[in-house]
Structure 1
Amino acid sequence: MTIAELRTRFQDPTPAELQLIARYGELPEDGRRARAFDAFAQSGLPHRRLEQWKWSDFRQSIQSIEASSAQSGPRMAPPANAIVLRFDGRSWDVPDGLPDGFRVFEKDTAQALGNAEQLPMAALTASQTGQPKTCDILQIEVSSSQEQPIFLDFAGAGREMAFARIAFVVRPGARVDVIEQHSGGAGLSAMLVEFGLQKGASASRTLLQSGGHQEATAITGLVSLDEDSEFQQTALAFGAKVARIETRVWYSGPNAAAFLNAAYLPADGKHVDFTSHVWHGAESCTTRQLTKGAVPDGGRGVFQGKFHVPRSVGQHTDADMQHQALLLENGAEVFAKPELEIYADDVECAHGNTSGQLDESALFYMRQRGIPVAEARAMLTEAFIAEALETAHPDVLQTLLDASRDFLRGSGE
């Protein structure tokens, strides 16, 4: 199909969308790739007229995609015993000598994506990955519990665009710990990370995101949970010009559980969007979600969370969603939209949403004991944020706390 024919699928394409069309046109034809690109073309780059994207307008933010100069923000060092997989904006680097029960398959053709119409940035990633002579898609099979954490280092390496996809299949009873570092480095980065947890399997995911003031980042996580499985996610985000971290969880078997914790700290000119959708498609499943944010003047934080509990299969659901934000200065922006969509009648579901300022009484108490006001504010905010990071992988927890502390004391930017 010619570039001119591809352009007709978009309504008044922007320069950035024209660049994506041109890149797609250079890739091998593939039915799965075409279906993903068609799903992306239905909306193009997400924009404010889409309800789920009204506060994170990628189309307006990236009129043209330009190479980024360098990575920015805090970084994590891989734990000493980690299995390190690095993505340089084009290909994965997979080490030799992998442990038993851990197999990596490199894919050089496009892979199908379910529900692509609901996931425009994930659909874009699916359409732009799976290239011959490169390695931008990995499938990892975990057949036995791993003592070594898996460290994924996503970097754009000064490119205009970076697209990567990785899928974990965790076999019954197995466990894996995944640590992700998303440090920007491309004008547009779109990453898709998938977890399929089979009966009795468990996985933990710890994520650190940072990006430059001219970068756009989309990180989509898709999680499927079978009977008795457990998934735990902890994320700390510093944002970019526009950044969205989206997590979708589907329960396909009973007695499964998911714990979703996150914290956001966007500086002046930075934007962070945490969006999640949990589908309780099986009985007696448990979800706990805690998201906290602290936003200074010029920063923007977004939280959108939804629990969907169907009538027939969602009975005995136990779910709780909490979002709490601090507006540290005038000019800070926080937008929140927690939702419960419940059709079952035997459930325990709750949600809460608060935004405000630091407790003046606590500040006064600390100042009375000789603590300078700036330090007192930083200490209170640090304690507030730290609660959401307690479930991070122990090998990088201190790094996340240090990154938060540096930001709050003015040395993180």
Structure 2
Amino acid sequence: MAQEILSTDPYLARFNAAKAGLPGAGQSWLSELREQAAARFRDLGFPTQRHESWKYTPLKAMKGVSFAPAGGTGQSASLDRVPSLLAPLLPESQSPLRATLVGGAFRPDLSSLDGLPAGAEVEALGALLERDPGVLESWLGRIAAEGGDRGDQPLLALNTALFDDGLVIRLGRNVVLDRPLELTLLGPLGDEATQLHPRILIVLEEGAQATLLEHHFGYGDAPVFHNGVSEIALGANARLTHVKLQSAPASTFHFATTHVTQDRDSVYDSFTLNHGAALSRLETRVKLLGEGADCHLNGAYLLRDRQHGDITTAIDHRVPHCTSKEVVKGALDDRARGVFQGLIRVAPDAQKSDGRMLNKTLLLSDKAEIDTKPELEIFADDVQCAHGATAGEIDHHALFYLRSRGLPEARARSLMVEAFLTETVEELRAEALRPLLLERIRDWLGTRRDDTPGKGEQAV
């Protein structure tokens, strides 16, 4: 086993002490799943730079910090409202569907789920595990197990061992959510270093459709180790638009792993905006298991000061006639460091696959760094696949042109960066959500450095 920089002992001790009281502890299938995950985490340890997929993202900044379990930290804090990103985008007569987690725990008092159509269920994971855990046996821990095999995943194992709450979203056959669902994950409100391991399960059966806006943010300066896992299963002809905004405070270490399986003719349209946390890694693994499946993994990263942001993806074409497209752009300022790792794998039987990947980065400072590694692994001969990556500074000729027309240098630079990133936002098919993403980008370009919600948010 590779040398560890972080000790697994506190986390394994917590598992041994808490496992009898974790939700669903009386279910043999879940207890076995947790025990296997804890054993795997013990064997693997925390990832180090000796692991190929973690080569560019060291965890040394977390060393020496003792993260306590969330316990009642977030749940007991006084909070009577949470800002909404979707509310300003909807007609006045319509309110968004909302689900809120504070400190990893579902808060029904801060959620609004009235008006769900028949066949749609949105429920706290912990509550469902206590009430009817059998309905989750076919999904929980199974999608992630089938979500990719690119290296080891110790943080996934840690989450599986320790998760105690989260959210379950289930849409039955041909059920369509007529409004977007806003999922807000607010960090703990206490003043001690805290670890969170939320779990999200999304199952869309055949023909179901939904739009999900997932927003991570927080208040305060206490260190937070956020280790979240999402499992998403899309049935035949199902369609999910998934927009994720990671704007956690600068004291946060944010790790999130998303596993997706797609059946025949399903569509997963994803956009991630990563501009928060001191250290972040957003990892997405998709398996295209049914012919005609279509996957879009697009996004942007905006980092400054000494932020470190890692976007790692793997798209696995397992069957013929599937398509995937990935466009990820970033802007790095000061001493920030960005990482992009993307893999498209085409199996031997996946003829007629079409997979494309592009990563572009603007370096706004001579001390900013980008590590980019796009990869293709093709084992079929009748495919169309392409990948590429570029990095560079702002075009000084274009900058001079704008300044010669009377624009101050800072304004001219902001316009050029905004135009560069707007091309990525336009990859999102859900046009109604594009203004929200563009506003967040403009906030960042306006040197907004606080951890409060952006201008477009509305408390409801």
TM-score of the aligned structures, taking structure 1 as reference length: 0.89
**From 287, 290, 293, the counterpart of 1:253:** 290
Distance in 1, matches of 2:308 and 2:389, equals 19
Distance in 1, matches of 2:86 and 2:327, equals 26
Matched, 1:153 2:184: yes
**From 324, 333, 337, the counterpart of 1:296:** 333
Distance in 1, matches of 2:4 and 2:356, equals 42
Q: What is the aligned-residue identity percentage?
A: 31
Partner residue of 1:14? 6
**From 141, 165, 189, the counterpart of 1:112:** 141
Partner residue of 1:3? none
Task: Give 1:94-243 correspondences, 5 Å limit.
Answer: 94=108, 95=112, 97=114, 98-105=116-123, 106-108=128-130, 111-113=140-142, 114=145, 118-129=152-163, 131=164, 135-143=165-173, 144-158=175-189, 160-184=194-218, 187-243=224-280
**From 411, 415, 422, the counterpart of 1:379:** 415
Deviation at 1:118, TM superposition (A): 2.8
Deviation at 1:54, TM superposition (A): 1.1
Deviation at 1:137, TM superposition (A): 4.9
Q: Deviations over 1:141-190 (max 9, x none)?
A: 34301111111111222360111111111111111111000115661011
**From 378, 381, 389, the counterpart of 1:353:** 389
Task: Give 1:299-314 correspondences, 5 Å limit.
Answer: 299-311=336-348, 313-314=349-350
Deviation at 1:337, TM superposition (A): 0.4
Letter of the 2:86 counterpart: P
TM-score of the aligned structures, taking structure 2 as reference length: 0.80
Report the 3-state secondary structure (helix = DSSP H, G, I; strand = E; otherwise coil) of the residue aligned with 1:239: coil
**Equivalent residues of 1:58, 1:216 under 8 A apart:** no
Letter of the 2:170 counterpart: I
Aligned residues: 395
Deviation at 1:26, TM superposition (A): 2.1
Matched, 1:340 2:370: no
**Equivalent residues of 2:297, 2:325 under 8 A apart:** yes
Partner residue of 1:42? 43
Q: Deviations over 1:300-320 (max 9, x none)?
A: 110000001111x21100111
Letter of the 1:102 counterpart: A
Letter of the 2:152 counterpart: Q
Instruction: Give the 3 Å change call, closer, same or farther, for CA 380–12 of structure 1 in structure 2.
Output: closer
Distance in 2, matches of 1:295 and 1:235, equals 16
**Equivalent residues of 1:172, 1:200 under 8 A apart:** yes
Deviation at 1:213, TM superposition (A): 2.9
Q: Deviations over 1:166-225 (max 9, x none)?
A: 111111111111100011566101111121111111101001002233321111111111
Distance in 2, matches of 1:407 and 1:192, equals 27
Distance in 2, matches of 1:12 and 1:329, equals 33
**Equivalent residues of 2:104, 2:185 under 8 A apart:** no
Distance in 1, matches of 2:373 and 2:2, equals 29
Distance in 2, matches of 1:10 and 1:127, equals 21
**Equivalent residues of 1:207, 1:236 under 8 A apart:** yes
Partner residue of 1:82? 96
With 298-307 and 159-168 compared, the bigger mean Cα shift is at 159-168
Unaligned runs of 5+ in 2: 21-30, 75-82, 451-460
**Equivalent residues of 2:248, 2:276 under 8 A apart:** yes
Instruction: Give the 3 Å change call, closer, same or farther, for CA 13–269 of structure 1 in structure 2.
Output: closer
**Equivalent residues of 1:142, 1:168 under 8 A apart:** no
Instruction: Give the 3 Å change call, closer, same or farther, for CA 327–12 of structure 1 in structure 2.
Output: closer
Instruction: Give the 3 Å change call, closer, same or farther, for CA 178–62 of structure 1 in structure 2.
Output: farther
Deviation at 1:365, TM superposition (A): 1.1
Distance in 2, matches of 1:412 and 1:60, equals 21
Partner residue of 2:405? 369
Matched, 1:410 2:410: no
Unaligned runs of 5+ in 1: 1-8
* Aligned-residue RMSD, C-alpha: 2.5
**Equivalent residues of 1:217, 1:243 under 8 A apart:** yes
**Equivalent residues of 1:36, 1:112 under 8 A apart:** no
